[in-house]
């Protein structure tokens, strides 16, 4: 099983009491609490940690993007991929991902991902996501069109990578008269496509139909299995066989020299389960963004909100894994047995987890956990 290192690049250096004054940390919490001085140090630090994860032997580095939130100040997954393409050597660069519905120019996304793929020597895994509602607000993109735009943006990017230009694109949401990108990916026909999921059965079915790698984020085993069933349904419709290489899962994880230290570090993940997800439903799922089926599935999938769970419950239920290297290896193996996945994505730094703790965790993963997982 392959392991991936992921940092959300948080900016949690403000008094929590200030954040509590607003309806949500996303959209509403004023950016007067953003410190360029701190962010400058943090970006360097987070990028150093990615480099260390590459050197430690992680199979991949996962990069994401959010907007208008201290929970993730990585505002451009492609820019980070471009940096890591140059500074890392071996790990895959998993962009998970470009938020397709909010893009106004899919051709530029095709170019940027291609450029990162070229600079990295063909190491890019290109994830496509619909984004949380916050991103639709940020881009002022009509959530009613979210799924249509996701699919059309995807179709145009794939066409950029697979059809010689120049060609014309007149869709419903995108219109380009002369498409002819002079930057194409190294990998042929194009970098592998990955798709995450939390609640939408349609996305799982679609990913299965397309044969893309599908990764549920922070859900219970039970919900992940249901989503994988939807994925298999889509795959079956297209006559595809599902191998473990097409299935992944994301959890939070940290290791340390002692169990006590790891459990202490693991508490930093609680921030991303509650405070950073707090806010009106209108922010996270604006009107029209979710289908009725997805809304119903979301209610079931989050029957117990992550924010309502204690740290111990989050650990018991595998949302957070924190322990000595042997302990986390055991738990990762259990995840694999439960879900039959080929890829385990580790959100490995969060909140105010310090650099030393993060680096030690990366080092210990490299020494024994990654080799153990490679044998599975």
Partner 1 sequence: MKPREETIAVGPTRVQAWIGGEGDPLLVLHGAGGNRGWLRWMDAVAERHTIYAPTHPGFGRSDAADWMEGIDDLARFYLWFLDVMGLDRVHLLGHSIGGWTAAEMATMCPDVIDRLVLVAPTGLKPEVGEILDIFYYPPEELFKHTVFDASTIPERERLFGRPPTPEEAEIALRNREMAARLTWKPYMFNPRLPHFLPRVTAPALVLWGREDGIVPLICGEQYRRLLPNATLRVLERCGHLPLIEKPDEFAGLVLDFLRRA
The two three-digit tokens of residue 175, written as one number: 């219109």
Binding mask 334-373 for partner 1 (x = CB under 8 A): ----------------------------------------
Check if the beta carbon of residue 200 is closer than 8 Å to that of residue 213: no
To 10 degrees, what angle do helices 36-56 and 77-87 make?
50
70 vs 143 by CB, closer to partner 1: 143
Instruction: Supply the minimum distance, in Å, between the C-beta of residue 288 and partner 1.
Output: 4
- Tell which one of 201, 208, 216, 286 touches partner 1 (CB under 8 A): 286
Give the C-alpha separation, 228 to 339, whole Å. 9
Instruction: Please tell me whether residue 266 binds partner 1 under the rule CB under 8 A.
Output: no
134 vs 369 by CB, closer to partner 1: 134
142 vs 233 by CB, closer to partner 1: 142
- Tell which one of 264, 282, 327, 363 touches partner 1 (CB under 8 A): 282
Check if the beta carbon of residue 5 is closer than 8 Å to that of residue 61: yes
Instruction: Supply the minimum distance, in Å, between the C-beta of residue 32 and partner 1.
Output: 21
- Tell which one of 57, 165, 181, 288 touches partner 1 (CB under 8 A): 288
Instruction: Please tell me whether residue 142 binds partner 1 under the rule CB under 8 A.
Output: yes
Check if the beta carbon of residue 50 is closer than 8 Å to that of residue 61: yes
38 vs 287 by CB, closer to partner 1: 287
From the centroid of its chain, how far is CA 13?
23
- Tell which one of 32, 140, 163, 310 touches partner 1 (CB under 8 A): 140
Buried b (16+ CB within 10 A) or exposed e, 339-373: bebbbbbbbbbbbebeeebbbbbbebbbeebbebb
The residue count for binding partner 1 (CB under 8 A) is 12
Please provide the size of the chain in residues. Answer: 376
Is the bond into 132 cis (omega within 30 degrees of 0)? no
Instruction: Please tell me whether residue 287 binds partner 1 under the rule CB under 8 A.
Output: yes
217 vs 283 by CB, closer to partner 1: 283
Query: What is the DSSP annotation of 230-273?
Result: HHHHHHHHTTPPP-GGGBEEEEEEEE-SSHHHHHHHHGGGHHHH
Instruction: Supply the minimum distance, in Å, between the C-beta of residue 283 and partner 1.
Output: 8
From the centroid of its chain, how far is CA 215?
9
Give the C-alpha separation, 312 to 266, whole Å. 10
111 vs 202 by CB, closer to partner 1: 202
Instruction: Please tell me whether residue 137 binds partner 1 under the rule CB under 8 A.
Output: yes
Q: Which stretch binds partner 1 (CB under 8 A): 37-45, 202-210, 277-285, 330-338?
A: 277-285
Instruction: Supply the minimum distance, in Å, between the C-beta of residue 151 and partner 1.
Output: 14
99 vs 270 by CB, closer to partner 1: 99
**Nearest CA-CA partner of 263 in 218, 328, 317:** 328
**Nearest CA-CA partner of 63 in 85, 45, 41:** 85
Instruction: Supply the minimum distance, in Å, between the C-beta of residue 140 and partner 1.
Output: 6
Q: In Å, what is the CA distance from 368 to each residue of 142, 272, 344?
A: 47, 27, 16
**3-class state of residue 162 by DSSP:** helix
Instruction: Supply the minimum distance, in Å, between the C-beta of residue 75 and partner 1.
Output: 21
Instruction: Supply the minimum distance, in Å, between the C-beta of residue 144 and partner 1.
Output: 5
Instruction: Please tell me whether residue 293 binds partner 1 under the rule CB under 8 A.
Output: no
69 vs 358 by CB, closer to partner 1: 69
Q: Which stretch binds partner 1 (CB under 8 A): 68-76, 122-130, 142-150, 187-195?
A: 142-150
Q: Which residues of the chain form contacts with partner 1 (CB under 8 A)? A: 137, 140, 142-144, 280-283, 286-288
């Amino acid at each position: 099983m392959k392991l991936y290192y992921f940092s959300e690049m948080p900016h949690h250096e403000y008094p929590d009491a200030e954040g509590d004054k607003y309806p949500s940390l996303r959209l509403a919490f004023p950016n007067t609490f953003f410190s360029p001085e701190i962010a400058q140090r943090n970006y360097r630090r987070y990028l150093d940690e990615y480099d260390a994860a590459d050197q430690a032997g992680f199979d991949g580095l996962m990069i994401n993007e959010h907007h208008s939130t201290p929970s993730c100040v990585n505002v451009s997954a492609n820019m980070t991929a471009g940096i890591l393409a140059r500074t890392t050597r071996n790990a895959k660069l998993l962009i998970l991902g470009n938020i397709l519905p909010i893009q106004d120019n899919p051709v530029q996304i095709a170019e940027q991902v291609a450029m990162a793929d070229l600079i990295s020597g063909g190491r890019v895994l290109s994830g496509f996501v619909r984004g949380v509602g916050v991103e639709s607000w940020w881009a002022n993109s009509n959530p009613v069109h979210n799924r249509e735009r996701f699919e059309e943006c995807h179709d145009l990017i794939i066409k950029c990578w697979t059809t010689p230009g120049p060609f014309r694109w007149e869709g419903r949401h995108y219109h380009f008269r002369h498409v002819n990108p002079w930057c194409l990916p190294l990998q042929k026909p194009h970098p592998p496509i990955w798709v995450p999921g939390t609640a939408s059965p349609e996305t799982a079915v679609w990913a299965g139909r397309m044969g893309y790698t599908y990764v549920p984020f922070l859900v219970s085993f039970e919900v992940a299995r249901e989503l994988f069933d939807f994925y298999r349904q889509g795959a079956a419709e297209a006559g595809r066989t599902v191998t473990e290489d097409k299935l992944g899962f994301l959890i939070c994880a940290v290791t340390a020299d002692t169990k006590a230290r790891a459990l202490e570090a693991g508490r930093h993940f609680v921030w991303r389960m509650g405070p950073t997800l707090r806010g009106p439903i209108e922010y996270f799922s604006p009107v029209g963004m979710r289908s009725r089926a997805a809304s119903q599935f979301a209610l079931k999938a989050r029957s117990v909100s992550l924010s309502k769970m204690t740290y111990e419950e989050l650990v018991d239920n595998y949302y957070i894994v924190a322990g000595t290297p042997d302990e986390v290896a055991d738990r990762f193996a259990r995840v694999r047995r439960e879900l039959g996945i080929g890829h385990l994505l580790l959100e490995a730094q969060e909140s105010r987890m310090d650099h030393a703790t993060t680096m030690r965790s990366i080092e210990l993963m490299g020494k024994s956990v990654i080799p153990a997982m490679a044998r599975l």
